[in-house]
Amino acid sequence: MPKRVATQSITVASALAVLLLPHVSTGGEARAPDAVDAFIQALKANDPHAVQRAMHGDYHRLARVEANVARLLAALRDADPRVRCGVASLIGSLRLRQGVQPLLPLLKDAEASVRQSAAYALGQLACAPYGRAESPDPAAVPALVALLKDPAAEVRGAAVRGLIGLKDPLATEHIIPLIKEKKTDVSWGAVRALGNIGDPRAAGALVESFFLGMCDHCTGAGGALAGLGGWGVEALLAAVPRAEPDLRARLIDTLGMSSHPRAAEVLLAMLDDPEIGRTADAALVRNGGWPPRPHEPFVDALLTGQVKARRRAAWWLWGYKDQPVVDPLLAAVSDVDAEVRACAAMSLGKLRDPRAVMPLLIALRDGERNVRQYAAEALGKLGDRRGVEGLATALRDAEVWVRRAAAEALGKLADARAADALAAALNDGDAAVRDNALVALAKAGDRRAVVPIVGILQDKASKLRSRAAELLGELKDRRAVPPLLAALGEEDAPLRCAAAEALGLIADPRAIEPLAALLREQRYDIPCTVAVALSRMGDQRGIPVLITELEAKREGGNWHAVLALRKLGWPALQHLVARLKDPDERTRYSVVHNLGRIAHPSTVEGVVPALKDPSPTVRHAAVQALAEIGDQGKRTTWQPRWGTLCPTCAMRQPRH
């Protein structure tokens, strides 16, 4: 066949494959009996559009009828090479396992296009369709292997692609020479096939593909070498010395993909090399440490490795909570290198082993700031109250980062024994230390904390003043009422809001009138916060503000207003129910929607009439509101006008 005709035949086969993809049949009868004949005639005409018209894209239904399948298999012996090529492509696309044996003779066809289509079809038949697990037919392997020596490069490439799906180790030694093929499709297909097969004999060839300029991510050579375990690691190590810097980095990165202990051991040893240390470090932590590495190389490196290896090992071992790594880390807290000690302290905190408390308390007196900081953080994570006194002492450390970590750790321990030290830390020159100490003091639950926290209401940092007001509300101590009332008159709006919220939590009657006076403020956040605070004390003067806030479209859903109105109950909600008579449809919908959010049982009688609202949107919202309220009695006794239809479907029906 002339080359032009062969190319057109391949084009038809490719078009068939594209047409097949979106048409997955769900069952049914086959097309008319002449469908196969029409399909074959379209192939002979070399017209992809005629093929589509003949079959209407419904090839899968055709394949469900045994008679049609038999006629397709018989067409593989047709005298026209275009028919043999197109039918072979169709058989592969349909995954007709009956076609394996009839396709094998086509691998020796005189036409290169036919051999190419048959080889590719056999590869498709080796792949399980639509997630079904099927074992490939081993009979195709020898025939495809023989085709690897075909004079046509396109045929060799198709044979290699066919062997990708077969994954048979018998083909390994025949595929390896193809890596050096000048034809890109052949060489890249050979690397992918070797990667899929996973034969250790291919390790050297897979590494060689790096030197030939192939992308290991595209070909899968890197993942294949990682999957070969020690064989792949040794092949990569042998190639590293002779590689150029850029290629060397790729080889080392591939080492990082391996879960073999030897790979971790080698990468840790590379860390102290000035030329490749950075690359090895990146390979160790690539993809968050994927795949999971064994812990033994890291333990060995921590005990006997060089400085950088010990640092990385001390940092990495926190991820092995189920392995015996605590004892090596305890010893590393006394390492001569400060960074190793700091990383060991950090890892011990994450492992949460109580044996680490005393070594960490000793580390709090270390000469290096990082070690003391990580030791303080680790003691907080351990949650052991034996660390309270040491952390309280660390609040007077000369380094601000240590003081911050100590105050935060004491907040996690929540021990009243640290109250005096935390109260003193409220006068620290660093705002973050004061903030952490403030929170820790409130968590300690000691009544002595009220007076120091009240003092923070006069702090120069606005954020700290607001935080102090919030914490006083959480403590609910009435001694805080006078200073909080005084804070209501400050110019700092966040402080006034925090003070109003705190007074609502304390619920002291002395705060009602001062709070009510703030309902006339212009800033929307202050009146709303005040209204919520008044609702907690049962005062109804904030109801109009809460309703206005409820109907405003603010980010966050206005749930503070919802909860406040629900707490006040019917005295507040009756004003909202009254608005169901508003002539505006959007207003009625908003009211019904918000009543559903509030979900107070007292509003059921008010929502039920909305089920007969002229607007289908309001009716649907009323059904949803009643469902939220949960009054099943009302919902079962009321008969909707749409009968047995659900509300959503009924609203789509025309009225009669």
The pLDDT-based confidence of 109 (bands split at 50, 70, 90) is: confident
Residue 432 confidence (pLDDT) above 80: yes
Which tokens sit at 521?
């403020």
The pLDDT-based confidence of 404 (bands split at 50, 70, 90) is: very high
Which tokens sit at 39?
């399909």
Element (H, E) at 291: none
pLDDT at residue 87, rounded to an integer: 86
DSSP string for residues in 509-557: GGGHHHHHHGGG-SSSHHHHHHHHHHHHTT--TTHHHHHHHHHS--TTT
pLDDT at residue 14, rounded to an integer: 43
Handedness of CA 619, 624, 630, 633 (dihedral sign): positive
Q: 353 φ, ψ to 5°?
A: -95, 125
Highest mean pLDDT (candidates 42-51, 388-397, 499-508): 388-397
Which tokens sit at 420?
């005096």
Q: Are 253 and 227 in contact (CB under 8 A)?
A: no
Q: Are 190 and 181 in contact (CB under 8 A)?
A: yes
Residue 395 confidence (pLDDT) above 80: yes
Model pLDDT for residues 178-209, shown as the tens digit of each residue: 888 877 778 888 888 888 888 899 898 888 88
d(CA 436, CA 457): 15
Element (H, E) at 240: none
pLDDT at residue 436, rounded to an integer: 92
Q: Are 387 and 355 in contact (CB under 8 A)?
A: no
Residues in the chain: 656
- What is the arithmetic mean of pLDDT over 74-100? 84
d(CA 613, CA 597): 19
Which tokens sit at 562?
């919802």
Q: Are 568 and 535 in contact (CB under 8 A)?
A: yes
Which tokens sit at 405?
């970590």
d(CA 407, CA 441): 9
Prior bond to 129 cis, omega within 30?
A: no
d(CA 494, CA 571): 30
Model pLDDT for residues 58-69, shown as the tens digit of each residue: 555 666 677 778
Residue 553: closest CA among 520, 594, 613:
594
Q: Are 623 and 647 in contact (CB under 8 A)?
A: yes
State the CATH class of domain 1-137: mainly alpha
The pLDDT-based confidence of 363 (bands split at 50, 70, 90) is: very high
Share above pLDDT 90 across residues of the chain, in percent, rounded to a whole number: 20
d(CA 171, CA 194): 9
Q: Are 466 and 500 in contact (CB under 8 A)?
A: no
Tokens 């120069």 locate to 460
Residue 402 confidence (pLDDT) above 80: yes
CATH 1.25.10.10 location in the chain: 578-650
Q: Which residues contact 157 (CB under 8 A, 6 or more apart)?
A: 116, 183, 185, 186, 189
DSSP string for residues in 14-40: HHHHHHHTT----------TTHHHHHH
Residue 21 confidence (pLDDT) above 90: no
d(CA 609, CA 108): 82
Tell me the C-alpha to C-alpha distance, in Å, between residue 121 and each of 13, 17, 92, 144, 254: 11, 11, 4, 11, 33
d(CA 153, CA 156): 5
Which tokens sit at 55?
């079959």
Residue 139 confidence (pLDDT) above 90: no
The pLDDT-based confidence of 12 (bands split at 50, 70, 90) is: very low
The pLDDT-based confidence of 35 (bands split at 50, 70, 90) is: low
The pLDDT-based confidence of 516 (bands split at 50, 70, 90) is: confident
Q: Which CATH superfamily is domain 578-650 in?
A: Leucine-rich Repeat Variant (1.25.10.10)
The pLDDT-based confidence of 127 (bands split at 50, 70, 90) is: low
- What is the arithmetic mean of pLDDT over 386-390? 93
Torsion-angle region of residue 323: left (phi > 0), alpha (psi -120 to 50) or beta? beta
Residue 377: closest CA among 345, 399, 343:
345
Model pLDDT for residues 264-312, shown as the tens digit of each residue: 889 999 998 888 889 888 888 765 555 577 889 999 999 999 999 999 9
d(CA 449, CA 421): 11
DSSP 202: G
- What is the arithmetic mean of pLDDT over 383-409? 94
Model pLDDT for residues 592-640, shown as the tens digit of each residue: 888 887 788 888 888 888 899 999 999 998 888 888 887 433 433 333 3
Q: Are 259 and 294 in contact (CB under 8 A)?
A: yes
- What is the arithmetic mean of pLDDT over 427-456? 86
Q: Are 349 and 315 in contact (CB under 8 A)?
A: no
Residue 556 confidence (pLDDT) above 60: no
pLDDT at residue 133, rounded to an integer: 43
What proportions of the chain, in percent to the nearest 5, are helix, strand and coil? 75, 0, 25
Residue 521 confidence (pLDDT) above 80: no
Q: What is the pTM of this model?
A: 0.63
Q: What is the CA radius of gyration of the chain?
A: 38
d(CA 225, CA 255): 8
d(CA 524, CA 520): 10
Q: What is the mean pLDDT of the chain?
A: 80
d(CA 292, CA 3): 52
Model pLDDT for residues 152-187, shown as the tens digit of each residue: 888 888 888 888 877 888 888 888 888 888 777 788
Model pLDDT for residues 224-263, shown as the tens digit of each residue: 888 888 898 999 999 998 999 888 999 998 888 888 889 8
